[in-house]
Amino acid sequence: MENPFKFGTIVEEEYFTDRVNEVAYITQFINSANHLILISPRRFGKSSVVAKAVKQSGRKHITINLQQVTSVSDLSAKLLKEFFKVHPVERVRHLITHFRIIPTISSNPVSGAMEVSFQPGVNEITLLEDVLALIEKAHSENDRMIVVLDEFQEICGLAKNLDRQMRSIMQQQKHINYIMLGSQESMMSDIFENKKSPFYHFGELMRLGRLPYDDFHRYLSERLAEQFPDSNNQLADRILQYTSCHPYYSQQLAANVWQVGVLQPNTEDPFKSAVEHIVTTHGLDYERLWMNFNRTNKWIMQRLAAGKPLQNSGYRTSTVYSALKRLQKDGYVIYTDRYELEDPFFLEWIMANNH
């Protein structure tokens, strides 16, 4: 029997959970001539939402995850490689002749995939200008390309003034819709909402929150019913209460609960068994993470795990705030209406191992 829950990758088709309104909004928006900025914490499903909306639009598109980009030259090569998946190189060869720096294009003899590279030491901004100009020239007002740049805040670390140079290129383009996704809210807000930033008001800003409880509950209970016909609703309740409707961890826990039902059908409490399995499986990883935290970070995470306040603690308010921002940037803490640990299973491990 195939597990009806999926997590850890882009979620599509029957594994996709609700987000009907968000998908409809994004689909409608990218049919305009505007750009979209989508911000949400890690693992909230923003990549899956955008992927579904872009697919529904029927438009040509390319996607780059900037966390996987190592330099401006690498960004240019990855953009060009993805572009060739949409437009075979033979059809756009005449446009490549206008490049000031000609790329090396080859085919991997094993996988057959297209490989693109540039000679090291060349002017990287020139490369990026040429690649983005190619994408622009290959399309028209009635046939705009969608370029999705995931984890867009990473451009801040690629090169000095890259944001200014990219904006100067992008603002001249009329045949590309950009969608910028980001998980580090403070950095994304600084890029797109700070008046001094080159990307100030570059596009429509959208924030993706947790999934609505009722919709997510229905999704989980319907899929758990096959394995747990008498307790599917109660299990869906416990899962969402434990994960606070976090999309990734809810799917992960539901998948493990379902697996317990298949492999250990006589388990008295499949929910508890699933939680224990996840925490135990990741125990060594959690221990390594914990050992690398400084004393202040450990104290903050213990307080957050126990639901205790951070004020009047003996630590300076500025020290606590700075530490929270670092933990948030590194993905251990998220902020919606309050600060909380991102991973409920790490919280479980902290409570069990740090009394």
User: 3-state DSSP call for residue 140?
Assistant: strand
CATH number, position 333: 1.10.10.10
**Is residue 271 within 8 Å of residue 258, measured between CB atoms?**
no
Question: pLDDT at residue 129 above 70?
Answer: yes
- DSSP for 193-210 reads H-TTSTTTT-SEEEE--P
> 287 and 145: one domain?
no
* 242 in the same domain as 138: no
Higher pLDDT, 230 or 102: 230
| Domain identity same for 232 and 135 | no
Tens digits of residue pLDDT in 75-127: 999 999 999 888 887 777 777 877 888 788 787 767 667 788 777 767 889 98
Is 118 among the domain residues? yes
Q: What pLDDT sits at residue 8?
A: 66
Q: What pLDDT does residue 185 have?
A: 83
pTM: 0.80
Same domain assignment for residues 148 and 30:
yes
pLDDT digits (tens, 9 = 90+) for 255-282: 999 999 999 989 999 999 999 999 999 9
Residue 113: which domain range? 19-207
Predicted confidence (pLDDT) per residue in 27-40, tens digit: 888 888 889 999 98
Q: What percent of the chain shows pLDDT beyond 90?
A: 55
* Judgement on whether residues 277 and 291 belong to the same structural domain of the protein: no
The domain boundary residue, chosen from 281, 307, 338: 281
Q: Which tops the pLDDT comparison, 47 or 285?
A: 285
Split into its structural domains, the chain has a count of 3
Q: Which of 181, 207, 233 is the endpoint of a domain?
A: 207
In a domain, 12, yes or no: no
> Do 146 and 199 fall into the same domain?
yes
Could you say which of 161, 177, 207 is where a domain stops? 207
Is residue 204 within 8 Å of 35, Cβ to Cβ? Answer: yes
Contact 173, 136 (CB under 8 A): yes
- How confident is the model at residue 115, as a pLDDT? 80
The percent of residues above 70 in pLDDT, for the chain, comes to 95
Q: Is residue 7 part of a domain?
A: no
Q: Does the structure show a pLDDT above 50 at 15?
A: no
* Residues pairing with 335 in the sheet: 339
Question: Does 274 map to a domain?
Answer: yes
Q: How confident is the model at residue 347 (pLDDT cuts 50, 70, 90)?
A: very high
Q: Are residues 61 and 84 in the same domain?
A: yes
What's the chain's average pLDDT?
88
Q: Report CA torsion sign: 240, 243, 247, 249.
A: negative
pLDDT of residue 191: 94
Long-range contacts of 61-65 (CB under 8 A, 24+ apart): 61/86, 61/145, 61/146, 61/147, 61/148, 62/86, 62/135, 62/145, 62/146, 62/147, 62/148, 63/147, 63/148, 63/150, 64/147, 64/148, 64/149, 64/150, 65/150, 65/151
Q: Is residue 14 part of a domain?
A: no
At 178 the pLDDT is: 96
The whole-number average pLDDT for the span 218-235 is: 93
Residues 255 and 323 in one domain: no
The CATH number linked to 139 is 3.40.50.300
Q: Three-state SS for 299?
A: helix
In angstroms, the CA 214 to CA 91 distance is 49
